[in-house]
Each structure stands twice: as structure tokens, then as C-alpha cells.
Amino acid sequence: MIIADQLRPKNLTEYLLYMWQVEDILRAYGCDSELLRKEYLSRFELDDSCRRKTEQWYADLCEMMRTEGKTEHGHLQINLNTQQKLTELHDRLLRSSHFPYYREMYYKVLPYIVELRTKHADHEAGELQICLEMLYGLLLLRLQKKEISPETERSAKDISTLLGQLSDYYRKDQEAPLEL
């Protein structure tokens, strides 16, 4: 909750990747908020007020996972909505003549997207979804301390740059609508 609250206003892409990680943590604990509280949340040093809020946040997410049938796989609707907001802005930026730098970054990562799509289970997956899944998969590989090829590192850097720029534009668009 604390990290999500910090990431959401700053970088929506990082927030979304963090929330995917939270979904996986919830699944690892069987979406059992009591087990999560005892075995996971108890590790964190939080004051009583923050602990209660955090426990409630995780319990609410567990309930949402169960209600939405996401206990085995998939993403919560709130996260899909966030991804959709980013996708809509991405599409608007690409259509606009006011953001040539963003379009240039996009065309730099497009070959990676095309290659990843050929390996993706859902060949109709959106470009942003493919980019996000690539970065999330890379995060999981790093957590497992697995070797990552220089080519993968290079593509991840370019994709991260694009998504970072998209997040910056999203934040700016929220503050004052961009002229697209």
C-alpha cells in the first residue's frame, strides 16, 4: 500500500508493475488475508495505524481477487483499467504530430514488440501489454538471479525508456491536458 501510494502519482508504469507483483504475492498466499498478515505483513515494521491500513488494503485486494476470479492468473480490473488509460494515451501520442520524440522512441522499440508478439501466447495482445509483460518477466528473472542476455537488457532499457516517457506524459496530462 505504501509503495503503491508513492508510485501511482509519480510513475503509472512502475505502479502497474508493482501491482502485478502484489497480485502474485496474494496468489502465493492463496488470497488468504489472515495467512498474508501472519506470514508476510508481520515482517514489516509499521506503526499501528499504518499496519491496520496496510492489512485492510491487502485484505480488500484478496477479496477482489476472489470476487473477480483472479486467484490463479490474470489481473484485477483496477489494474486493467490503469493499463487501458496508459494504452489510450499511448495511442493518442502516436497519432499526434506534437510528440515526435515519443513516436521516435516507439519506432525504436517496435521491432522488439514484433519479436515478442511472435513468442506471446496471445498474438493479439496490445503493444503496451507486451512491453509491460516483458519488463515484468525480466523483474522475475532478476529476482530469481537468472542470467539475462545483453540483447534482452538492451531491449528492456529501450522499452523502459518508452514506458517512462509515457508515464511522464500521463502525469502531465493529469495536471493539465496535453494538446494532442
pTM of the model: 0.92
Number of other CB atoms surrounding residue 75 within 10 Å: 19
* Model confidence pLDDT, tens digit, residues 112-136: 999 999 887 777 789 999 999 999 9
* Model confidence pLDDT, tens digit, residues 125-168: 899 999 999 999 999 999 999 999 999 999 999 999 999 999 99
The contacts of residue 148 (CB under 8 Å, 6+ apart) are 138, 141, 142
The percentage of residues in the chain with a pLDDT greater than 90, rounded to a whole number, is: 88
Residue identified by cell 507486451 is 130
What is the distance between the alpha carbons of residues 128 and 68, in angstroms, rounded to a whole number? 23
* Model confidence pLDDT, tens digit, residues 22-67: 999 999 999 999 999 999 999 999 999 999 999 999 999 999 999 9
